[in-house]
A = this chain, B = another copy of it.
Amino acid sequence: MDGRSQGLRGDRRVTLTEVAKRAGVSRSTVSFVLNGRTDLRLSADTFTRVRRAADELGYSPNATAKTLRTGRSGTVALVSDFIGTTSFANAMVRGVLESLHDADTLLYTVDTQGEPSLESKLLRSLINRDVDGIIYGSMFTRTIAVPELLRNVPFVLLNCVSDDPDTAAVIPDEVGAGATAASALLAAGHRDRIWFVGIFPPGTTGGAAWHSWSPLALPERLQGIDGALAAAGTELAGSVAIADDWDVANGYSSVAKLVASGATPSALICINDAVGVGACLALQEAGMRVPDDVSVMAFDGSPLTTAVRPTLTSVALPHEQLGRLAAQLLLDGTAAPRVHRVPMTLSPGHSISAPSSAR
């Protein structure tokens, strides 16, 4: 790390004069190129020479001065619990980044691990470094309390909502997703033996690894399912509980138990893709074919759906669109502070067919 001997900080900051000397131009020319002044006309060659000299010397404009002059620093932060440190919702970061990039705005991403003290430190640190605004996000959809520090800058909630009605938020339309899942099964001919896999056991609100936070996806997907089935004059035949994480192993064991109990579902609606994969494995191991004997519907639309046989039919989370919209709302700043719901669409696989009784 020979870089230690150099540096841009404190008294070692490179000056415009040094850049000018290296580029062989005047200080005002350098200021024009690097600080966006508009009172000179320059050749492309001069632009290139100044940029190169600035790069070689490691010149960096003073952020605070720039902020005071332009009123913005051109930097936004995505502050979330676990988005950056887990492999689930990274498409949200991509969506945010792409929208910001179109607006020539940089993105810093920080994860708080859901720890209030770390969150406070990070928020202070970002606000102190003159970010223009903050996108406050959650790895999975849930209700949050807006941190007081957040109210010091423009902010938008991403994949979470607060109980404060005057807050701009972007979340997936989970109720619509539930209705979509149920409607697809109804359309295929299922009706009286549709089960749901993935409620929490009594007294449980969410996985222990995630602070036991209550995911909105569960009640809202169920609300959509119940509504669509009721409109068709039917209801869920039953629900299967999953303790802790919604993963393949827990999906497998809960459905193995259901099958062992003698239940004869015609279709399973699983809370997410991993549980759906586990459900298929349990059904297949019990000698039931998917979808010939039992149809399996899931949610999230993750890459897992295309890695298994049959491929899973799933209602997809619009992570990238959520990120894009949150960034646009923050950049715009004039949008009404309300909850924006982004539609979730059916991602077709081969795990759904007509019920065996209808063949």
Residues in chain A within 8 A of chain B (CB atoms): 1-4, 6-10, 55-56, 58, 60-64, 67-68, 74-75, 77, 84-88, 90-91, 93-94, 97, 101, 106-111, 113, 118, 120-122, 124-125, 127-130, 148-156, 166-168, 248-249, 274, 277, 281, 284, 303-304, 306-309, 333, 337
Contact = CB atoms under 8 A, between A and B. Distances in A.
B58 A151 contact: yes
A58 B3 contact: no
Contacts of A86: 90, 94
Task: Give the 10 A-B CB pairs with smallest separation, nearest first.
Answer: A87-B87, A3-B151, A58-B152, A85-B94, A60-B128, A109-B109, A108-B108, A129-B129, A87-B90, A63-B128
Given A85-B97, A109-B109, A130-B9, A148 B58 contact: yes
Nearest to A66: B128
A130 B63 CA distance: 10
A22 to B, nearest CB: 13
A270 B221 CA distance: 38
11 contacts: A2-B151, A3-B150, A3-B154, A4-B333, A58-B151, A60-B124, A63-B128, A74-B125, A85-B97, A107-B110, A304-B307
Contacts of A62: 128
A1 B168 CA distance: 6
A7 B309 contact: no
Given A248-B306, A309-B281, A111 B97 contact: yes
